[in-house]
Amino acid sequence: MQIYNTMTGKKEEFVPLMDKRVGMYVCGPTVYNFIHIGNARSFIVFDLVRRYLEYKGYDVTYVQNFTDIDDKMIKRANEESISVFELGERFINEYFKDADALGIKRATVHPRATQVIDSIIEFISDLVAKGYAYQTDDGVYFSVEKFDGYGKLSKKNIEDLISGARVDVNERKKNPLDFALWKAAKPGEPCWESPWGKGRPGWHIECSVMSSKYLGNSFDIHGGGPDLVFPHHENEIAQSEARNGTVFARYWMHAGYLNINNQKMSKSLGNFFTVREVLQRYDPMVVRFFMLSSHYRSPINFSFELLDQTAGGLDRIKNALIRLNGLKGQAGDTSADFSVREAVQKEKDRFIASMDDDFNTAEAISNIFNIVSIANSRVDEGSGQALIKFVSGTICELLGVLGITFNLNADMLDEEIECLIKERQEARARKDFKTADRIRDELKERGIILEDTPQGVRWKRK
């Protein structure tokens, strides 16, 4: 299996620290609002990575945190006249509603920053003792120049960063790049006792502590959005490796940006969508399938038109499964069954090869569609029952790797019916009357009656 490592800028063979066991940390949401679709892409991508590793037989310890104390949370809580803790609890619950709908599995552990304050204080104390951190009257800072190799993940040069730093920096810092490990308490803000007075942790230190607490000082995969490479992940590396003297994360993975109608998603442009808003219009599986239809490292353009197209493609797979499940088949194998089984197995092998190549879901999904085409053209009532079950089971197995699930027993939606009618019309246009008749019969079995008229196809339910 090959994984693209942001640290080295190339694909590398994945070799975990412990045979068949994987430690994986993914930066979770700051819980002051509903998650947006950009967040959703990252969370779906790393859920997919976890699912595939488990499919390959790895025991995955998956840690995804909640940042439940920071400036945005304090501001929002004050606006609503509630505590930061009440705000965090509310939006953690809202996160789980959206994540569950999108098929994102619960992490092995979901630590909260406020639950590990003692560990954070211990971590910072070690950095101070080793000379990597210093105290000022407004908190404790990490000394970037003390850490050899700062900028190695983001490929940024420390001298260039210093010269490009803004003039209006905190004059208490020894270096403009030094970042806060502990922030001294301000009036009205939540705070905790520490050796440096009352205060609260900085953002970067939270993830270093939560990852090491549950995965150890060195673990396999660290994931997040591309906007986290610098400074967040860069700072995590610096403080973690300075304290522990060992490689922090061995493989760094970052999902690509998500744009809206070819523009960067932003509140100022009015093109900012929460997952909750999108799920009011689309099935969650359509959103998930859309997010996985492109390679995870590639930028992806989001639009409702593209979601409509995705829904049509997903319906094609769903309708193929419905048809296969409705076939009775013959008791024994037929002469054609072996070649069909072989063709489907080849596509399954190609699916696995695609996923082994840095989780190339775009190619993997095309392999599923190839199996669907084989099923629609080469599997019918004349096929053996075992073959029908094998083809249907293979499609469901590979969809399961992607986290895509269907309720095949639900009544057909109008959109599904229209999609099948369109597929039938296309088959008739190319004189593929066998496929056209099959679709008509399938609809009839499910209680949908078609009527060909000079004005087009009309349909009604029995």
Q: What is the rounded end-to-end Cα distance, in angstroms, of the chain?
A: 51
For residue 460, say whether it is annotated as part of any ligand binding site: no
Q: Over 80: is that where the pLDDT of 208 sits? A: yes
For residue 396, say whether it is annotated as part of any ligand binding site: no
Provide φ and ψ at 362, rounded to 5°.
-60, -45
Q: How far apart are CA 196 and CA 188, in angstroms?
A: 18
For residue 36, say whether it is annotated as part of any ligand binding site: no
pLDDT digits (tens, 9 = 90+) for 96-119: 999 999 999 999 999 999 999 999
Q: Over 90: is that where the pLDDT of 179 sits? A: yes
Q: Over 60: is that where the pLDDT of 167 sits? A: no
pLDDT digits (tens, 9 = 90+) for 427-458: 888 888 888 888 888 788 777 888 888 878 88
What pLDDT does residue 168 have? 45
Residue 164 banded pLDDT, cuts 50, 70, 90: low
For residue 204, say whether it is annotated as part of any ligand binding site: no
Residue 209, token pair as written in the block: 């502590």
CB 95 within 8 A of CB 101: no
HEC secondary structure over 283-351 = CHHHHHHHHHCCCCCCCEEECHHHHHHHHHHHHHHHHHHHHHHHCCCECCCCCCHHHHHHHHHHHHHHH
pLDDT digits (tens, 9 = 90+) for 281-329: 999 999 999 999 999 999 999 999 999 999 999 999 999 998 998 888 8
Q: How far apart are CA 218 and CA 228, in angstroms?
A: 19
What pLDDT does residue 423 have? 86
CB 416 within 8 A of CB 320: no
Between CA 436 and CA 442, with CA 438 as vertex, the angle to 5 degrees is 120
Chain centroid to Cα 334, Å, comes to 42
Mean pLDDT (the chain) is: 92
Q: What is the largest distance, in Å, between two alpha-carbon atoms of the chain? A: 85
For residue 232, say whether it is annotated as part of any ligand binding site: yes
CA distances (Å), origin 46, targets 27, 52, 68, 355: 10, 10, 21, 13
Report the predicted TM-score, pTM, of the whole model to 2 decimal places: 0.87
Among the ranges given (108-112, 131-135, 187-191), the one the predictor scored with the smallest mean pLDDT: 187-191
Residue 120, token pair as written in the block: 């954070």
Q: How far apart are CA 230 and CA 123, in angstroms?
A: 21
Mean pLDDT for the stretch of residues 68-75: 94
Helix (H, G, I), strand (E, B) or coil at 209: helix
CA distances (Å), origin 283, targets 100, 286, 314: 13, 5, 11
